[in-house]
Chain A
Amino acid sequence: MEIRIFQIVVPIIALLFISGIFFRYRKSDITIYEMILGFVFWLAVILVAIFPDFFSEGIAKIFGIESNVNAIIFFCLGLLFFIQFKMYFTIRKQQKDLTELTRKLALRDHLEE
């Protein structure tokens, strides 16, 4: 089987993301379920990168796409999902912090009286 560069590069990048997710879990930034969800997603990306033809043929059959440009599309999709994923957690954490801060200010003003 001929090994193409992206079959090495994409799994390495995905593993970096997986380790990032693991460290975020260790720092209690995310829950265990969110970590598992992240793992599942990036493992799927790795599988697609390692066996692109298997998945691309499957998807090609479903959607009628017939091109090996699929690899690039998959990578871009993965990247977009990652950005979306990261943004979701960032916004969620900021929203939570904002509520906590607002509450602390509201309670501090009165409970210190």
Chain B
Amino acid sequence: MIPKSDIPIFIPAFNEELTIAKVISELRECGYSQLFVVDDGSSDNTAKKANEAGAYLIQHIINRGAGAATQTAIEWARKKSFSYMILMDGDGQHLPRDLEKLVQRMDAGDCDIVIGSRFLGDVSAMPKSRRWFNRMANVLTNFFCKNQYTDTQSGFRMLNRNAIENLQLTLDEYGFCSEMLFLAEQKGLKVAEVAISTIYTQYSLSKGQGFYSGVGTALNFIWKVIFK
């Protein structure tokens, strides 16, 4: 089993001052020590809270979007020659206990990216609107991909060195989740999925994409797929 000390966890965060410290302390309690927060130009105290909680802070001086923050995390991992990296949300919707599922699947050695899929587990907690939105995004992304994925929009992912070396995301906004899968297939990276649970709170539901930004993301993704 890959030791927890060898697994850096990156949390792209934008205005997550209410949850970031709790997320970091829970990860510490679970034994993960390499914690990085990519503060994407937050206008609140996210950076301060993350720092106080003991995470290593990587800061965008201005907000560039979740995709841009994720690519910054990947470049950091590449430059530091990390063998693995995990990406998870800073709003507290991902459970630290699910990290082991990703690590175990990666440990099997037959994949480069492991996605924590909400749709392989119990989705009853997911609000209907969110479920509908994610399924539409799955249909759209799977249409352009060779393989079929159950949760193309999950931000809970583990990458190995091969993936870290080969992924170069170009979409700054939320389309990066789909783009990562699209690029992975282009680069011949193997993608696996494991079931995860998620906690939906009023707060976590207020984050993420709304309907209109989702439509924008979809159009952006289609443009990228067709014209790149």
Most buried by B among A33, A96, A102, A107: A102
Q: Within the complex, what minimum Cβ distance (angstroms) separates B92 from chain A?
A: 24
Interface flag for B64 (CB, 8 Å): yes
- Chain B residues with Cβ below 8 Å from A102 are 41, 60-62, 64, 68
Within 8 A of A (CB), among B20-40: 38
Give the interface size bracket for B toward A: 20 to 34
Q: Across the interface, do A106 and B61 meet the contact criterion of CB distance under 8 Å?
A: yes
Q: How far is the CA of A107 from the CA of B76 in the complex (A)?
A: 7
- A99 vs B227: C-alpha distance in the bound complex, in angstroms? 20
Provide the B39-80 mask, 1 if CB < 8 A to any CB of A, else 0: 001000000000000001011111011001001100110011
Q: How many residues of A contact B (CB 8 A)?
A: 16
Q: B61 contacts A105, CB within 8 Å?
A: yes
Contact between A106 and B60 (Cβ–Cβ < 8 Å)?
yes
Kindly list chain A residues whose C-beta atoms are within 8 Å of the C-beta of B61.
Answer: 102, 105-106
A contact patch SS = helix
> B60 contacts A107, CB within 8 Å?
no
Quick check: is A65 within 8 A (CB to CB) of the other chain?
Answer: no
Cβ of B165 < 8 Å from any Cβ of A? Answer: no
Please report which residues of chain A, range 75-113, place their CB below 8 angstroms from some CB of chain B when the two chains form the complex: 95-96, 98-99, 102-103, 105-107, 109-111
CB distance from A8 to the nearest CB of B (A): 33
Measured CB to CB, the residues of B under 8 A from A are: 38, 41, 56, 58-62, 64-65, 68, 71-72, 75-76, 79-80, 170, 172, 226-228
